[in-house]
Amino acid sequence: MEYRTGTVGRVIAARFDDGEDFLGGLRKLVLREQIASGWFQIIGALGRAGVVTGPKEPVVPPEPIWREVEAVCEVIGTGSIHLDNGEPKIHLHAALGDHGETLTACVRRDSRVYLTLEVLLFELNGLEASRPWDEQGGFSKLRFA
């Protein structure tokens, strides 16, 4: 285990509306507000998303199992944001519910809001963290300076 301590800076509440690109919009918000590290929670609904539901086998590097969610889903999730060469890297795990069935996954692409999605973003100060690509592990791994 490796860790650092920091403090909570600004707290940003945001709302995304029907049809908006959630992940793309969150990236834009982080860049506009110059947030180097953050933690966020979401609640609302998605109309579509490209998600990873786990590795095919428990090996390193993992081969992800991709799934395209194209039904309206209630969503609740939590994630982190750290920069890699100035680009926000978002790591979001969420539970997506569709008519009583729940899928828990890592939301990675093509995230379109259905009706509304609320975000509470906590800026983390003093961590000096990043999320560069780890060739050996095959994913963007949290690193501390």
In order, the DSSP letters of 44-84 are EEEEEEEEEEEESSS-SS--EEEEEE-S-EEEEEEEEEEEE
Domain map (residue ranges) of the chain: 9-125
Average pLDDT for the chain: 97
pLDDT tier for residue 9 given thresholds of 50, 70 and 90: very high
pLDDT tens-digit series, residues 34-64? 999 999 999 999 999 999 999 999 999 999 9
Per-residue confidence (pLDDT) for residue 42, from 0 to 100: 98
Per-residue confidence (pLDDT) for residue 142, from 0 to 100: 96
Per-residue confidence (pLDDT) for residue 107, from 0 to 100: 98
Rounded CA separation 144/4 (Å): 7
Per-residue confidence (pLDDT) for residue 112, from 0 to 100: 98
Q: Looking at 18-22, 44-48, 134-138, which range is the least confident one?
A: 134-138
Contact 43, 71 (CB under 8 A): no
pLDDT tier for residue 95 given thresholds of 50, 70 and 90: very high
- Of 67, 57, 64, nearest to 96 (Cα)? 67
Beta bridge partners of 85: none
Question: What is the average per-residue pLDDT within 96-125?
Answer: 97
- Of 9, 88, 79, nearest to 41 (Cα)? 79
- The CATH code of the domain at 9-125 is 3.30.1330.80
